[in-house]
Amino acid sequence: MRILVLGDVVGEPGRRLVEAHLPVLRRELDLEFVIINGENAAHGHGISERIARQWFEELGVHVITTGNHAFDVKDIVPYFQVESRLLRPANHPPGTPGQGYVKLHTPGGQEVLVINLMGRVEMPICDDPFRCVDGILAKERADVVVVDMHAEATSEAQAMGWYLDGRVAAVVGTHTHVPTLDAKILPGGTAYVTDIGMTGPYDGVIGMKKEASLSRFLRVKGERWEVAEGDPQLHGVFIVTEGRKAVSIQRILKTLP
């Protein structure tokens, strides 16, 4: 199976990158499955129903994952409750709206299970992602399993990669908005990268205007964050699987003219 996973889409610049490049990448890479982390797609914080619907209906995205900003947009909760392809972290406490994993069938007849997890180091309170994913894998079976590990600590993301090596096709890290150079196939056949990187403006601080971000380090009360605009870059990983294991993982980088 030929799978594309795009890292955290940030604001309008990130959305423009997706709209410009995803149709071309779909043709060039002969994609069969597309996953996007969209938790920063709306003004840098959260995702709206309008954005999610456009990605599903117009761009053919199969699954949207999120993280700690999943519910930042007002009135998004009802959409999480009715759209199973829009995920929030599976290890959120019981009773949280929405669901943390989904299993879909491709036109070719394969089952793809996508699991959204969130780390606990320097992150909002959530349940143990390791025990959570064990519980999901104990009851769900699929031809291909992809895990979005939304984590602040590189150590926690790497630990999850080794923990799931050989049990899933891919563990891809999101959240830090900084791409890492460790895309590889682990010994058990799991494609891994600590952080895919951001799809958005790199002329700032993790997608936000540098002046506002600097003010938060230099002053008692910082300026309001706003999405940056310059140097828009799309970052993703292209994964090819055979059977239940990955055989290759390749970084994708695109810019706007």
The residue with tokens 């209906």 is: 57
Cβ contacts of 217 within 8 Å, gap of 6 or more? none
Let me know if 69 is a catalytic residue.
yes
- Cα 123 vs. chain centroid, distance in angstroms? 16
Residue in 69, 92, 150, 175 annotated catalytic: 69
User: What gap in Å lies between CA 150 and CA 66, rounded to an integer?
Assistant: 8
Cβ contacts of 134 within 8 Å, gap of 6 or more? none
Both tokens assigned to 182: 């460790």
DSSP state of 204: S
User: What gap in Å lies between CA 201 and CA 179, rounded to an integer?
Assistant: 13
Q: What is the torsion angle, in degrees rounded to the nearest 10, for the CA atoms of residue 202, residue 159, residue 89 and residue 246?
A: 80
Burial class (CB in 10 A: 0-12, 13-18, 19+), 182: middle
Cβ contacts of 54 within 8 Å, gap of 6 or more? none
Active site residues: 69
